[in-house]
Amino acid sequence: MQFSDLDLSKSYTYADYLKWQFNERLELIKGKIFKMSPAPGTVHQRISGIVSSELYNYLKGKPCQVFAAPFDVRLSRTINDSQITTVLQPDVSIICDPSKIDARGAIGAPDIVVEILSPGNNKKELQNKYEVYEEAGVQEYWIIHPNERTFLKYMLVNGSYQASRLLTGGDMVTTDILPGFSLDLEELFKDIEV
């Protein structure tokens, strides 16, 4: 089967997703197929590496774990593959409940997801993923925009996301989920040419 053989008007499940053997990178959002952007560029990968490293170093010896893409996050309360209709690959995921981690990735909402915007994926990140992360109960959704050198954090409050102010170079990112963690945006965006 090739990507062109799929009927993009149909709904699919994680069971279908596991059978696909083509090269295209895909995500499922409420059963619909979303083709991911081509492999991330250098700026995206540098930012992902810095954020992942900072989180990894902070989390050493703590119960939460950090995972970088590609890492399947199945946003479902069921473990039945044929009933799971949303499978995403956030750039970075932080999961504090070890029971949500299995050999294939994660099942259920991570505590924090980080998406790094690339040309061509902004609409998907800002609309579709926002909705499914909020519905699934992801406590914090971080969006990093390398071209603008900005950081926006959505925090789940009473089941709905509330946005932080827009952060830029000189600001520090902190989170109640990881007390004592801070990410210096000046350092994050230093030497990044877009």
What was the pLDDT predicted at 122?
56
Phi, psi of 127 (to 5 degrees): -110, -70
Tens of pLDDT along 103-158?
A: 999 999 999 999 998 876 656 667 889 999 999 999 999 999 998 999 999 999 99
What was the pLDDT predicted at 59?
97
The class level of CATH for 41-189 reads alpha beta
What was the pLDDT predicted at 120?
66
What was the pLDDT predicted at 66?
97
Tens of pLDDT along 15-56?
A: 999 988 877 788 888 998 887 766 678 888 899 999 999 999
Neighbours of 83 (CB within 10 A): 12
Q: For the chain, which residues make up each domain, given as ranges?
A: 41-189
